[in-house]
Chains A and B, each alone.
Chain A
Amino acid sequence: MADSPIFTAACSRLEEATSFNTLESRGTVRIALKSAGLEAGSVTSEQMTVVLERVMPKELSARGVEDPEGVCASIRSALDHVSTSESSTETPDAIFARLGSRS
């Protein structure tokens, strides 16, 4: 599965805002997503925002990044400019939500 534009944009901004190289920034974002139960290929803007608020600051602190909150805010603002097309495939949780509905 190809990486989502949100994931790619977050990695690029992290690389710009820190001393991380491409591999390090992508790895850091992947680790944060994995600990949140998300995947690089399907993460949405809303989900990434929550990860940036509640998971990423700890990951950046652990890697010696100064002002992790500021870096996360910078990534969040970068995501505002990312255009995402609505995916045509339903997520497993969307399907399972429907399977129990009484309609």
Chain B
Amino acid sequence: MVVIASLGAGLFILASLFVGGRLLMLAYTTRGTAEFLLGLGLFCMGGIGYPLMAIMTRADGLSDTVRCTLLIVHMCTSTLGMGALAGFTRRVFRPGQAWAGAFLASIILGFVALALLQIVGPGLMAFIEDPKSGPWSSKVYLSFIPMTWAGVESIRYYSMLHKRLELDLADPVVTDRMRLWGISILAADSITVFGVAFNLMGLSITATPIGSILIGALGLVTAGALWLAFMPPQSYLDRVRASRPLGGAGSVKEGA
């Protein structure tokens, strides 16, 4: 069971690193804000922040200084990653809308506040010894907000693009990419939700067979959907295009 969970988590970390890295390279070429924010979000959140948490709390033989340093890096990358994800959602789906700007600011301030409260309150070592207590442990609840926001906005927009497809007003590849991003982020969000639910029942999600299967399956879905959305093989793109006629004059073509 541990193998299944590790496989799902490992693929999620790899996909976050590769897809995040690719989007950051794309941002370097295009100077686009959206690809920079999503690349940064995936790279920091799934690629660095998530594995650091596991190393910091579970690895043997690390000194307290190293663990504290890892926790500070984890706090920074989690705050940066979640902030970048929320920034991406705002930039793509709610540009120029004041409420979305305020929402983004409150998410970032929330993460910063939790980190500062942990540092000046019980301290870093208190969290390392018991990751389920202290202010920073509440970051799992806060993470739920930007991830759900991203998922809901992308699925809402996907449903609009799906209707446009019928009128040749959308590109099938772009529509599919929107769907895959929604699936990916909501699957990652579900891991958080299940983790919290298990905690509320007094269980550790990784310590139970059903929890391990859930992490493994959802990690696989997250990684697979991310990969197909942002680094799709040509054969997959051909299959998506073949399943639908190409968009008409009013559609935005893939790669445009």
Contact = CB atoms under 8 A, between A and B. Distances in A.
A62 interface: no
Interface stretch (A9-17, A19-27, A64-72, A92-100): A92-100
B35 A99 contact: yes
A101 B255 contact: yes
Contacts, number: 102
A36 B168 CA distance: 10
A35 B163 contact: yes
Interface residues of A, number: 29
A54 B250 CA distance: 14
A101 B23 CA distance: 10
Contacts of B161: 37, 93
A102 B23 CA distance: 10
Contacts of A94: 252, 256
Interface residues of B, number: 44
B250 A46 contact: yes
B40 interface: no
B203 interface: no
Contacts of A54: 167
A52 to B, nearest CB: 11
A27 B254 CA distance: 33
Interface string B76-96: 000000000000000111011
B232 interface: yes
A100 B92 contact: no
B164 A36 contact: yes
B132 to A, nearest CB: 36
A95 B92 contact: yes
Contacts of A39: 160
A85 to B, nearest CB: 15
Contacts of B159: 37
